[in-house]
Every structure is written in structure tokens, then in C-alpha cells.
Amino acid sequence: MEIHKIPALRNPVMLIAFSGWNDAAEAATGATSHILGAWTDAEHAVNDQVGVVPELIADIDPEEFYDFQVNRPIVDIDESQIRSLTWPGAQIFGLATPNFDFDFIIVRGVEPSMKWKTFTHDLLDLADDLEVQMIITLGSMLADAPHSRPITVTGSGAHPDLAKRLGVEVSRYEGPTGILGVISDACIRRGIDAISLWAAIPHYASNSPSPKATLALINALEDFLEISLPQGDLHTDSLEWESEVDELAREDSDVAEYVKALEESKDSALLSDVSGEDLARELERFLRRQSEN
């Protein structure tokens, strides 16, 4: 790992997302990318936090952790016909958010191909050095879910005591895992508070980036951290994405019938599962935005 700068950060919260197995429809990496750029746009910024620029803290050396036949380097050519090579890897950024009680550290990159234990050890060593207070991993998975209904985001902790203390579900997943599962397990062993937020992506609409799923993850972050994040164009992009998937479904009667069945199942579940807590969370999010704007 190459350290570029150690910025002064307050009670930092580390957000982690990797493309690949953990990132259906690019929802998780889309959420971290959105947050990295959220305060640089004066039109969409909140809390007068305009012009905040993320600082590159470190690069993770790709040579040690990536199989370049699986994740190949990319060649780009600029307007001057100069070629450049971009290697797969991961970067760690610091983002100061002075109107919050904490700052962000954002880890974004490609899921490593090998040496996951070493990769995780190096990353959490840096988290210790930066005095990270909490780690939140972001993921998205394919599911039997309709695109026309709210995207479900599940928050979970890997240990019952941790889940109870932080107010999330206990993870009951069994089966193959990605690097996020390895990081969560290592956090428990180090005594670092860590939760996972996973968005459920309609499997028939996973070929393109889903701003609706990205927005769902952003909203879940807001609810957990009790903050408001800039939304930018996510609402508009979400409506456009949903409209595009509507059109695709109409072109295939089998898909349209399947989506209708999913909608009926989802609506039935929502009617039985809706709770005062869900309504209160929506109201709290609305009131936060009203007071901050």
C-alpha cells in the first residue's frame, strides 16, 4: 500500500465498496462514487458544504492482489492522442464533512483476486492508524424483486451482540462470500464496529447501472448515520431507469407477466410488514432535510 497523505479527520466512518461479485448493477460503487463527488457540485450540495474535495490517502498496489487476466488494465487515449494505462486496484480517500460529527474515509476499487487475508490486514491496519470509529461495507445482490417498487436494503452485523448494539439485523447468510464478508469477519476479530448494507437488485434488470439502487443505499446510510446526504440527480436518474426497464418489460410478455407476479408478492409483503418504525424513519428523513435546507 502506498500512503500519499494522512489527513486530519474527525471520528472517521469508513465506507467500503468493491466492483465485481459484491456489486450487482454497480449500486454499491455507485454510492461511494456519488458521495465522493456530492459536495463538489454547488447546485446539489447541502449544509453549505460546497467545494469539499476528497483527498487521496492511499493506493493499494495492484501487483500483489489482482489477476490481470481476470481484471485487465485499461488503455485510454486523450484528446492529444496520448495513451495512458489504468490498472485495476483500490484507492482510499478522505472526505471532510464539517457539518457532521464525523468525516468519511471511502474505499473504492475492484474486488481483489488473491491474498484476501493480507489485503484485509493492510486495510484494517490503515483504519486503525486513522482511528476509524466504524466501518460500513456496501454491497448489492441479485434478487427476485420488482424494479417498480422500493429497492430493499438490508442492514446487518456479523455478531449478535454487535447487531443488537447498533440496531441492525444479525447476518444469517451461509454460503460463498466476497471480500466484504472477509472484511466484516476481520473487523469482529479486531473489535472494530462494522455493519453491512446490501441492496436487492431485480435480476432481470441488472445489466446496467441502477441509480435507484444507489439511491436506496444512500438513503439507508442516511437513516443509519442520522444525516442527510446530497442527492444530486439520483431521483431523476432513478425515474428514468425505472421507465427504461418498464419499456423492456413491455417488449417481452413473459417478463411482463413475471414482473406483475413479483409486484403482487411485494405489495402483499409490504402490507403485512409495514410498521410504525418504517413510517417514523421516513418521517425523520423528511424532517432532517427540511431543517437542513
Given a cut of 90, whether residue 1 has pLDDT beyond it is no
Give dist(CA 157, CA 163) in Å, integer.
5
Of 17-21, 114-118, 161-165, 285-289, the poorest mean pLDDT is in: 285-289
Sole residue written with cell 431523476: 236
DSSP letter string, 223-271:
HHHT-----TTHHHHHHHHHHHHHHHHHT-HHHHHHHHHHHHHHHHHHH
Domain count, the chain: 1
Give dist(CA 278, CA 20) in Å, integer.
31
> Who wins on pLDDT, 110 or 263?
110
CATH of the domain at 21: 3.40.50.10900
- Residue 279: its pLDDT value, please? 57
Provide CB contacts within 8 A for 245, sequence distance 6+. Answer: 147, 148, 202, 205
Range of the domain at 254: 2-292
* Dihedral sign computed on CA atoms, order 184, 190, 192, 193: positive
Given a cut of 60, whether residue 78 has pLDDT beyond it is yes
How much is the average pLDDT of 98-114?
94
Q: What is the dihedral of CA 218, 168, 187, 189, to 10 degrees?
A: 180
Residue 129 and residue 168 in contact, taking contact as beta carbons nearer than 8 Å: no
Given a cut of 70, whether residue 20 has pLDDT beyond it is yes
Residue 156 and residue 163 in contact, taking contact as beta carbons nearer than 8 Å: yes
- Residue 208: its pLDDT value, please? 79
* Dihedral sign computed on CA atoms, order 12, 17, 22, 28: positive
- Residue 252: its pLDDT value, please? 82
Grade residue 44 by pLDDT with cuts at 50, 70 and 90: very low
The H or E element that residue 31 is part of is helix 27-38
- Residue 291: its pLDDT value, please? 63
Of 72-86, 216-230, 257-271, the poorest mean pLDDT is in: 257-271
Give dist(CA 273, CA 237) in Å, integer.
28
How much is the average pLDDT of 56-79?
93
Q: How do residues 253-272 score in pLDDT, each as one tens digit?
A: 888 888 888 888 887 766 55
